[in-house]
Structure 1
Amino acid sequence: MHSKTWIWLGIGAVLILAAANLAILAAFPPGQQHVQEPLKRVNWILPFGPGFEYRDPYESPVIVYDGMNETWRLQNAAAWNRTIALDDRYSLDPARPEDIRYTPDIAIEDGKISLDFFVRNLASEDCARADLAVTTEITRLNATMGSPEGDILSGAATALPIGDLAAGEWREVRVAADLPRPGPEELLYLTIGLAAPHNLMAPNGTSVAFDLRGMSSVVSGPIPTCGDTIDPDYNRARLPRASAAFVVAGRDAPEPAPPLTIRAE
């Protein structure tokens, strides 16, 4: 190719780059900040449980069961009942986080464990009444591997009613569950869940239903629908929920170990 042709091609490339830069400057003038999208979240009744703080069994609170006396004792109760700062997770405006704190207040009495969950109404609707769902799951824990194993025994879901929860209001709700009775050397993993209500009753008697399509959170993939309504099973399975997990150990059971990690040589 002739040398003059290369020169003209070079000049053309420079002109194209200059035009592109001018177009960018026109769209975003100097000093003008790009508008950042707001944080995405589900705008509904949101529960929070201390299970967010400890995700692995070996990090969970340990409850020791003495089968001889039929008593349960929470180890390091003061440490597990510390105040939890929720930061901006449940603030009305994530750009201006509120200093929201709550304490689980875990207690054991008469074979039951009770603790506080945090609930906030972000549904933009005053809630005159709604029923939260309390669920429990129990599975065996492998002390050597530090992980649950075997079948999961699910307890029957129970309703926990809340009332007069205005839009933006938050409160602590008390959740209770039966404690399992492990064998002397057995480790059990107890998970207590709290799910948001599928419907809430507004003060004027109107029923407001949770609809995933109206939420501001990002959902990956298509949402299955039945005609004009979202699939109810799909909808209910994605209700906001929280959990708290406990290791319930027999008196002579070993302490749960951290899960094994494989390192590349």
Structure 2
Amino acid sequence: MQTETSKPWNWMLFPFSSVKAGPDCLFAASIGHGIYQIDAESNWKKLDHGMEEHANVNRLQLQHELLHACTNSGLYEWNGDAWENDGLTIPCYQYRKIGGSSYAATEYGLWSKASSRWEQIACNDKRVYDFINLPQYLILAHESGVSLYDRFMDDWAHFELETSVTSLAVFKGHLIGTSDKGELLIGDKKGRFDRVRFGKPFIFSVLAKGNDIYVCTDRGLFQLAYICNQVTLLSVKLGCPVTDIDMQNGNLYMATLFQGIQTVSV
């Protein structure tokens, strides 16, 4: 492992793809340069044991105080000393643990693990990028649109949008998504989606933090707002491409492509 103690905490200007705030440190994933832990004294430590040197990390997730990395070679869990594969060795894009079950969005559908074994449970023939697990609905974002499973009706609805949907959130009762073309997708609650562009920004993802929805773009970070019956963007941080965010103790941490890990007080 390598520790950097002589430079400021945001010295490493690798392109970062994900950031997660732990109780007393940050975790940040760079594109092609590994995963790092940043402690309260602004020291960097590379978490490289057990992980391929140039692994592409799509997302970090901190669930039940356990750090997971969704990578192009599978799902990994950090045990405090090294990365261990969590049983999935296929490309993974999202991970969440809900109750006693784990869920992973992968190159080959959505997988679930209730005990010690992973099983495919939905959209086996599609690349799934994100999902939302609600009491009544399971909603998947995948390579050709959105799929929704109604638990009460035991029925699937598939919305083919002719674009890959890469992230999902719920805003004011509307399903919100992002496409691989940089658009914001807004559901009308009737099975249709409006495609919206806000000028030049290319939208990477939408993320729910508390009651707020944040939008990561190549022009900066925005917050979704509903003004005069229209969805709009309010700027939070402009001037650098933001790929991911997390919040902790009144601070908002941003993973950026060119300016390291940035912080904004909220």
Structure number with greater CO (CA < 8 Å, separation at least 6) is 1
Tell me the TM-score normalized by structure 1.
Answer: 0.23
**TM-score, scaled relative to structure 2:** 0.23
Specify which structure has the higher proportion of strand. Answer: 2
Looking at CA atoms only, which structure, 1 or 2, has the larger radius of gyration?
1
